[in-house]
Amino acid sequence: MRKSPPRALTTSQMAHYCTVRVETVTRWVREESLHAHTTAGGRYRIPIDEAIRFMREHGIPIPDELLEGQESRRVLVVDDEPDILRNVTEMLQHFPHPLDIRTENDGIAACIAMGSFRPHLLILDLKMPKMDGYAVIEKVRSDPNTKDTNILVATGYGSPENVDR
C-alpha cells in the first residue's frame, strides 16, 4: 500500500488558522521561522506537521481538523511504581496530539522496548531495580538508532548530584 504524501496548507489556509494576513505568513516563510516548500508555480505549501509545530511554539490554538489523521507519537514511560505509570499514562491521554503510549517497569525492559518500539519520547525514572535510569540513558545515547530520542527524567530524588549528573 502506498503512503499518501503529507497534507499541506496554503498560505491563505495558514493565515486563516493563525488569524493573520497572508502577507504575515509569507514573511514567516521568508524569515524561515515557518518552513514551507515552493510549488512549481512559485506558491508556498506548509506541511501540516510544520503548521502544528509553529502553532504550538507560538501559543496559537490548533484546530482539531489539523490534528486528525496525524501520525501518532510514540511515548515510552518507565517507572517501577504502578501508580506513577498509571498517572503519567492518564495525563498523556489528554494531550491534543495522538500518542501511542507504552509502559515498562524496569530499565532492562526499557532498553528492549527502545529497540522495537522506537519512541519519540522516553519518560524515565532514575531509581529502578535491575537497571537504573542512568544506565538506560547511557544505553540510549550510545545506540545510533536511539541516540536522538528525547528523554524526560522524572524522579523523586532531585538531589543536586542527580541534577548535575
State percent of the chain over pLDDT 70.
Answer: 88
Give all domains of the chain, ordered by start, each with its CATH number.
Answer: 8-67 (1.10.1660.10), 73-164 (3.40.50.2300)
Specify the pLDDT at position 100.
85
Q: Which three cell numbers stand for residue 61?
A: 490554538
Specify the pLDDT at position 5.
43
Specify the pLDDT at position 36.
96
Specify the pLDDT at position 124.
95
Whether residue 107 contacts residue 128, with contact meaning beta carbons closer than 8 Å, is answered with yes
Q: Which three cell numbers stand for residue 67?
A: 490534528
Q: Tell me: pLDDT of 16 over 60.
A: yes
Terminal Cα-to-Cα distance of the chain (whole angstroms): 46
**CB count in 10 Å sphere of residue 46:** 24
d(CA 132, CA 134): 6
pLDDT digits (tens, 9 = 90+) for 83-104: 999 999 999 988 877 788 999 9
Q: Which three cell numbers stand for residue 42?
A: 512559485
Specify the pLDDT at position 162.
55
